[in-house]
Structure 1
Amino acid sequence: MERIWLVNLSLIFLINLNLLSQDKIKQKREELNQLRREIKVLEDKIKQAQKEEKITLELIDDYEKKDNLLRKLIAELKRQIKENEKTINHLQNEIYKSENEIQTLKEQYAGYVKALYKHGRTHDLELILTARSINQMLIRTVYLKKFSEHRKRTIDSIYTMQVRLKEQKDELELALLKQKELVAEKEKEEMNLVTSIKEKKEILARIRKDKQNLQVQLERRKKAIKELEAVIARLIEEEKRIKQKEEKARKIEIPKVEGNFAKLRGKLPWPVDDGKIINHFGEQIHPVLKTVTLNYGVDIAVPEDSPVKAVADGVVSKIFWLPSFENLIIITHDGGFRTVYANLSDIFVNEGETVKSGQVIGKSGDSVEGSIVHFEIWYERQQQNPEIWLSKR
């Protein structure tokens, strides 16, 4: 009886689990579809611009936004593939267990059938009649009845387990089919990303030859610098508010960062393994336009897709996108210091995440200025010259 109850309970659990899984799958599917809709909007916008031959910096922005969405879509597909692998492994283990349980039950029942064939029903009657007392006879009668009921339950258990096994195998077939579809989707979107990056490179090459676009890029950079200043100012104010609340309530936990950033002056590791500074801190003369621009950090020329690393322990305060800076990360360190990493093609960390010195946080991308990583250091609201802080090479 206990075995049947456990089997039925397992079936109820599997049904409820399956319903929850279906809801989760539906939600994930909607998230993927929403990403695809956003990508389609940008693709249509890009096609229209190309049709009208509008080769502008805004077109590059659209490519960058589309590529970011494609990377997000691919990352989500990878997560779903990983989750599905767990489901497949779980189902395979459950099928193995079910097959073993059925085999055990069948062996038990085969033993009973063999005994019945050898001794027949007369053995049961003989057992009752040879009882030494009425009391023993009653006990043996009850025992044989219970044993008969147990045999029936064994047969019922075998049938129930076989039904469960079939359901598990059907579910496994669906999971394997879904896995095949997910892998195909991921490969397709990866190809789309490769194509998009190639198209973007071709557009960038044309823009770099256009002085008018270069002038627009300088204006965009100036605007982006002001936006970055505003973001850092907001982060400082938010940090102050959190500290004030902590002092009042003593309940809010602020991520603690070990180390002392100020002591790293002149010894700070570089954010990239290889690279050369092509645009220095402060006023710079544009090589083509010959105009004076202000650089609040340094631009390091690197091979495209180079790993970008955190230069010190810290907490990721902000991840966002800005025209001319593209994908950008701000990391807060101890003592009021912050570092900025821009012109990234991909990001591997999340806001609020604690990072260690040397941890890869993203990879470099291509831009109007070429394949560079833009790096800044701030103390409160004051820009620091990164070359004074970075270790000598």
Structure 2
Amino acid sequence: MRFFLSFIIVFFPLFVNASNIDKKIKSTASAIKDKKSEYSSIHYKMQQNAQEILKQKKEILQQQKRLKELELELAIKEDVYKSNITELQNLSQTQSNLKKEQEDIEQKLIFNIARMASLTILMDKKESTSVDSIMSEEIIKILAKQTDTDIKDLNERFFKNNEHIASLEKKSGHIKEEITSIDQKRKELKQTKKENENELAELKKNKQNYKIALEKILKQQDSLKQTLANLNIIKIDEIKRAREKAQQEQAMKEVDLSNMPKVKKVGSSYQSVKTVRYRGPKTISPLDGYTVTKKYGNYTDPIYKIKIFNESVSLAPKKKDAKVRNVFNGKVIFAKSTPLLDNVVIVEHDNGMHTIYANLSQIAPDIKKGKKIKKSSVIGRVNDELVFEVTQKDSHINPLELF
């Protein structure tokens, strides 16, 4: 994106008329879109898998961030948790004692209220005015007054006790909430740890499968390149090839999966070759119906940051056992099965051009080395994906330019 923004700044003079600016903006936007589409679709299946791995990595990093937050929070609250448990136990004991005291006050209140009622009845009775009766009445009055004082005192103690109990219950409730909150955090921490372990195991598995698939692609490219070199169709810089292989192996070494590889992009792959434009007449496609699953050109692997140059295209047929046709008149110079690319047919054409058809499920019975074949001749069949490559005088051509 920075490249294209720089392009706009450098090549758009300040005083160019508005219509020219609009045209250049549209042209640049189109180029950006085409380039983005090209790089993101060079190998659709691998791109999808890489996106899933990167998405999974992001989720794991979020989980690990949450784990650290929970661990820190629980570490801070650990002392509070212990003191809360102790305080809650003390509060429970105090509440228990207060409730027993409250029951005792209630019993005394009931007794004093009953005694007050009895004394009131006695006071209301009309008695004789003898000395004894007068003395008895005075005693009853004193008892009544004392009982009334006792009732008031007990009543006040009852309500104060009740308020104290309510206050303790409220405080206990808050402490219980804090304890429950910490317990829930502990459960969340345990669950998040378990999920994180499962995600890491799944990521390791997916990354290993991805690595195997990527290694297979690199080996297939290397095998095909070696075949072309053996036939003197292209040349290989062996020193550069060895260096690039070592860089790739280093980049793909297993590392801590929670911190995915942060290797620098490996420089131009040894498979980066000179590309020339096709300037001849358009021809037929090797398949009647297909989907492009891997495009020609540069591709930086999003997981290992390995820069790969795809010299071929991969074409997935619309149906199984699809016929593969020769695209120009020419002569078969190679037709055999290989360990990594299944069946391969290479056809030599005029002007130093060669077309390569790899990953064939079978080669047509009449296709043999040295046989001259015409355009549209069936050279074999394919089930999965046809790997189609075109070279001309030690240079490569984007195969999609042919048809």
Work out whether the TM-score is over 0.5. no
Q: Radius of gyration: which is bigger?
A: 2
TM-score by length of 1: 0.35
Q: Which has the higher helix share?
A: 1
